Structure 1
Amino acid sequence: MSNMQRMKSSKISCALAALLVSISLAACDGKSSPTKENYAKAVQTYFDGKDAVCMLAGAVPFDAAEHSSQALIAEPLVKTGLLTKEPTHVQDDGSAHMLLPGFHYALTDEGKKAYRRADPAKNSKICGGKAKLLAITYASSAENPHVGDRVNIKYEAKLVDRPRWDDEAVLRTLHPDLIETENDQYHSELYVELTNDGWVVNPSL
């Protein structure tokens, strides 16, 4: 092989090596890379597709005896304009022939917009609002991750569209499933999972 051929071969080898390095670096910096930036993108995408604030409402409409636990839980929803109540009589659980004073609860127009019907109906919720991720404060280690691997994420977020009815002073005592915020900010955690399309939130964990 002549010197000219050796030089051309050397240049080709160097070019191929540079190309392989470039491809390798691109793969490391891609959407599958275990970085806070990729986790943050997955979390915000998850936020954008769901309600930020939810509380268990059960099947609505319903009747409840006065002073019953069901009526007690419903009263904050009446105060915040999500339910209406009208006087009625409710059958006593202990006697098929006795009626007790109670109330009939139904959704207001605002309540209908916020009601998320579930199957079974007892799992239905009242939800609303949107959240914005402020920071990933913790991420468990994930070196050389593979599809299916999961990472525990802790984050700080902010309610950027708090529902008008979300009055924590009224609701949280009897509806602790609501997000507790300070200056509309809150802290929580979830899991992100690596898929063929990059990192996504796994809400089942």
Structure 2
Amino acid sequence: MGKNDRMERRERADAARNRQAILRAAEELLRRHPPEQVSIERVAAAAGVGKGTVFHRFGSRAGLMVELMAERARELEQAIATGPPPLGPGAEPVDRLVAFFTAVALLASRNGNLMAAHEHAMVTRKAAETPREANPIYLYWHGHVSGLIAEARPEVDAELIAHMLLGTLHMEPIASRLRAGEHERLAAAFATLVRGLLDRGALGGG
């Protein structure tokens, strides 16, 4: 291995470490401060890197928030795709759906400020003047939820019902309770709703 190859590998490793340090610092700051107080300068200082490094890696504060939320969403996606049931494959659709909303409620409760910052970033980014429904995270979640509904109840409008269920996460009475840490209460409510829809044939066509 030549000197240039070693230098390139070291630079890639340094970049990966910096990226993780920046994401960890942003997440920790968001746990302790409102989103509007988490600036690029504060994140850089907490991560031990220069402000320019943060801009180079993420482009902007909004880009940082979007990428941090994507990291958390990827962890959930991996659990859905390959994790143990009921969140992962191998359980009945209704049980997988209950497990999904339980996991989302926990994610939202633990990362309330991050989700608020992410939502604001998606709304305000100049290059992302698209509806929430075009967000890759939302698209994945909607595909998963609608697929489980269709599997359990092929006669109903699974696509629209999935939008209705996911849309409740952005309603202020729900979002405020998640920010207050009431994820268990929300998870129980989602379980009641999902089982009512899918177990007891409360929708048309039963």
Please indicate the TM-score interval, normalised by the length of the shorter structure. under 0.3
Q: Which has the higher contact order (CA 8 A, sep 6+)?
A: 1
- The structure where strand makes up a greater share of residues is 1
Structure showing greater Rg: 1
State TM-score, norm by structure 2: 0.20
- The structure where helix makes up a greater share of residues is 2
State TM-score, norm by structure 1: 0.21
